[in-house]
Amino acid sequence: MKRAGKILGVFGLLVATCVATSALTPYFLTAYNIENLLRRTSLFGVISIGAAFVIIVGGIDLSIGSVVALVGCLLPWLLVEHGVPIWFAVPGVLLLGLLLGLCHGLLVQRVRLQPFIVTLCGLLIYRGMARGVTGDQTVGFQNGFKGLRSLVKTRFEVPGLDGFAIPSTLLILVAIATLAVIFLRFTVWGRHLLATGRNASAARHGGVRTDRYVVLAYVICAGLAGFGGMLFILDVGSAQPADFGNFYELFAIAAAVLGGCSLRGGEGSVIGVIIGAALMQVLQNAITLIDWIPDNIQYAVIGAVIIAGAISDEGFRRLLLRRRTGTP
Amino acid sequence: MTNPLHLAAPMLASLILIGCGDSDPGAATSPQAGTVASPRLAYVTNGVADFWTIAKAGADAAGVDQGAEVDVLMPTGGVTDQKRMLEDLVTRQVDGIAVSPIDPGNQVDVIDAAAARTPVITHDSDAPGSARRCYIGMDNYDAGRMCGRLVKEALPDGGEIFIFVGRIEQDNARRRRQGVIDELLDRDADPERFDEPGGPLAGSKYTVLGTLTDQFDRAKAKANVEDVLSRHPDVDGMVGLFAYNPPLILEALDGAGKTGAVEVIAFDEDEETLQGIIDGSVAGTIVQNPYMYGYKSIEVLSKIARGEDPGIPEDGMIAIPARTIRAADVEAFWADLREKTGKE
């Protein structure tokens, strides 16, 4: 009930933003723009779902942007600079993401370090590694690897809708989201993961191996960050290791929180997170498309909308609580 | 597990980043500038980019020629990071610093503080009014006007253009953009003029629809181009003022199936830009000479450190002019570039 309310809240905000934007500019509801928005939402949605898993178990991952940079830069670096075959490079960089997540999880769970510290150091280390390995050189596919890049560049034309096509990234997001929803809602592991975040000691006493679920959440998060990094570099085509993926962890965390994940853990909805990611992209798009909003205040607008969402969410929660307890 | 500090992450991260300085208090006391046989010199850039890798090659080459020890530093954390580097270099008592100030208007005190202890020159982007000995680079306003002329060549019958740039608060970006605008609007030369980004600027033949910045986020830079294609489907030309902008314009045009339909006018020498000129998808590009920025900076600083005449003109500007690269000269230019950067 509460979860549904949260999703409705952020969904309402998304719809309101879309309606307002389309009223203010005729260019918003064009096939080309919608397709762009779907693609961007899909890319950020992938890393946001990862962030949600960690937040659900009551942790935080600040290294997402740096994992995006490391994996995103290593892929073209291996393929173009060193001629490593695709079938080796792609699984290799994805495995690297998973391994980094395993390190985070073990450091948090076994060594008992705070997730904030572990992933903050990750943020610094992976950025430094990306820059060191590539020697600060911009890396890119140099118009090659069209086959691999078609993973994110393929468009599926929709019959009857002139000019509109579904980007392949959306299908990737749908696949990942479906797996995540099935895992969280329909498997015992998912329920144990939620229970771990809600109250770790209670879950432990209830026989849940909470340590494993915490590690799993970090593995999923960094794994998806690495996968997202690969999608980003395939989409953009080139990356400068010093700034690629900068602040993306904050976009991911913001999308997860907007989508109903509580930073206290135990709560979260995959659909909500995707809507949260979409909201962030629509806001940025709206600011560019509407002439009278200066482009340089976009962070202020995004921040204001997120805080408005948080306030309305809190208000909604209190309203529910009052109804339930019967107090006026 | 309840940790309200989570939200302070970016703040703490930036504090730690700033704090991780490479100070070297153990360095031996350096002799006074003006008497050093093999000076220790520093070359500070305004960020990390291939452009600076080429400049580094020039600085290193000059270091060998002049018998100087050259340290090239590339700040990643913006103005604060660059300030820290300058302060640490003064602490290390280097014999000269060449810096490309990120925000010259607000960095005069930082440059003056460093210049009080060691010779400082600016390169690539100047800091007028500071105590720097000279500026080595091109006039970005003039280069902007060259870029404007390239737009006129590509669109002889006029048209609507849009400008993309990483940051507009940088002096070089600002002047470059103003040069493009003033050339297209057939205005008199006035490098100090500044049109706020925003509403369209219409001239008799050309209209500059607007300018978008991306703060070096490539995904955002590409999204900007896509959004402009949404908002202005009939745009005739796109100008990318920082090295990575033109390739991302090409990416976005390719995605929209508009390669060739929109004229792309570039700045700098990214490989995809050069390939675009060969393929015909880019009209041309204005290139600086970063190799010479690096070389000349170290040469001048070495001479100052040894007490020789560095040959600084009256106006304090050592000009390294920009060049226009079109389809006819792109191959030769690229071959020369590869040689200097040691690629292939």
3-state SS track over A5-69: HHHHHHHHHHHHHHHHHHHHCCCCCCHHHHHHHHHHHHHHHHHHHHHHHHHHCCCCCCCHHHHHH
DSSP SS3 for A104? helix
- pLDDT, position B94: 92
Nearest to A142 among B52, B216, B272 (CB): B272
Residue linked to tokens 């939200």: B7
Q: Residue B81 belongs to a domain with what CATH number? A: 3.40.50.2300
Average pLDDT for chain A: 90
Cβ neighbours of residue B22 closer than 8 Å, sequence gap 6 or more: B88
- pLDDT, position A237: 85
pLDDT band at A2 (very low <50, low <70, confident <90, very high): low
- Contact yes or no for B130/B308 (Cβ under 8 A): no
Which residue did the predictor score with more confidence, B71 or A291? B71
Tokens representing residue B236 in the block: 């005739």
CA A184 to CA A55: how far, in whole Å?
A: 13
Q: In the predicted model, what is the mean pLDDT of residues A138-150? A: 87
Please judge whether B223 and A36 are an interchain contact, meaning their C-beta atoms are less than 8 angstroms apart.
Answer: yes
Assess whether B119 and B163 both reside in one domain.
no
- Is there a domain that residue B241 lies in? yes
- pLDDT, position A3: 63
Assess whether B311 and B283 both reside in one domain.
no
Q: Contacts of residue B170 in chain A, CB cutoff 8 Å?
A: none
Q: Does B342 score more than 90 pLDDT?
A: no
Nearest to A236 among B7, B49, B222 (CB): B222
State the Rg of chain A over Cα.
20
- Contact yes or no for A225/A50 (Cβ under 8 A): yes
Q: Could you give the C-alpha distances from A85 to A93, A117, B271, B336, in angstroms and in order?
A: 12, 36, 23, 30
Q: In the predicted model, what is the mean pLDDT of residues B77-99? A: 87
Q: In the predicted model, what is the mean pLDDT of residues A133-154? A: 87
Assess whether B145 and B267 both reside in one domain.
yes
Which residue segment(s) compose the domain that B271 sits in? 140-287
Q: Is A150 on the interface with B (CB under 8 A)?
A: no
Tokens representing residue A168 in the block: 């392949």
CA B168 to CA B213: how far, in whole Å?
A: 7
CA A153 to CA A235: how far, in whole Å?
A: 7
Query: How near does any CA of chain A get to the CA of B163, in Å?
Result: 13
- pLDDT, position A148: 94
* Composition of chain B by helix, strand, coil, percent to 5: 45, 15, 40
* Model confidence pLDDT, tens digit, residues B180-235: 999 999 999 998 899 988 779 999 999 999 999 998 889 999 999 999 999 999 99
Number of separate helices (H) and strands (E) present in chain A:
13, 4
- Is there a domain that residue B11 lies in? no
Tokens representing residue B237 in the block: 């030309």
Assess whether B167 and B255 both reside in one domain.
yes
CA B142 to CA B322: how far, in whole Å?
A: 9
- Contact yes or no for A244/A127 (Cβ under 8 A): no
Q: Does B21 score more than 50 pLDDT?
A: no
* Model confidence pLDDT, tens digit, residues B226-264: 999 999 999 999 999 998 999 999 999 999 999 999 999
Please judge whether B5 and A235 are an interchain contact, meaning their C-beta atoms are less than 8 angstroms apart.
Answer: no
Q: Contacts of residue A235 in chain B, CB cutoff 8 Å?
A: 219, 222
Q: Is the ipTM of this complex over 0.90?
A: no
- Name residue B334's amino acid: W
- pLDDT, position A326: 67
What is the CATH architecture assignment of A2-16+50-325? Orthogonal Bundle (1.10)
- Is there a domain that residue B10 lies in? no
Assess whether B163 and B125 both reside in one domain.
no
- Environment class of A77 (CB within 10 Å of its CB; exposed 0-12, middle 13-18, buried 19+): buried
Interface test with B, best of A77, A143, A293, A299 (most B CBs within 10 A): A143
Residue boundaries of the structural domains of chain A:
2-16+50-325
Assess whether B118 and B131 both reside in one domain.
yes
- Bridge-based pairing of strands B317-319 and B120-123 is unpaired
Assess whether B168 and B237 both reside in one domain.
yes
Nearest CA in chain B to A22: B231
- pLDDT, position B4: 43
- Is there a domain that residue B123 lies in? yes
* Model confidence pLDDT, tens digit, residues A71-104: 999 999 999 999 999 999 999 999 999 999 999 9
CA A318 to CA B12: how far, in whole Å?
A: 32
Q: In the predicted model, what is the mean pLDDT of residues A140-150? A: 88
φ, ψ at B167 (rounded to 5°): -140, 145
Q: Between A and B, how many residue pairs show a Cβ–Cβ distance under 8 A?
A: 137
Assess whether B235 and B133 both reside in one domain.
no
- Contact yes or no for A155/A165 (Cβ under 8 A): yes
Average pLDDT for chain B: 86
Query: How near does any CA of chain B get to the CA of A279, in Å?
Result: 15
E-only strand ranges, B172-322: 201-202, 206-213, 237-240, 263-267, 284-287, 317-319
Tokens representing residue A50 in the block: 């990862």
Assess whether B41 and B103 both reside in one domain.
yes
Q: What's the pTM value of the predicted model, to 2 decimals? A: 0.79
Q: Is B234 on the interface with A (CB under 8 A)?
A: no
* Model confidence pLDDT, tens digit, residues A187-214: 999 999 999 999 999 999 999 999 999 9
φ, ψ at A156 (rounded to 5°): -105, 105
- pLDDT, position B2: 40
- Count of structural domains within chain B: 2
Assess whether B186 and B134 both reside in one domain.
no
Assess whether B175 and B264 both reside in one domain.
yes
- Contact yes or no for A7/A272 (Cβ under 8 A): yes
Please judge whether B271 and A296 are an interchain contact, meaning their C-beta atoms are less than 8 angstroms apart.
Answer: no
- pLDDT, position B5: 42
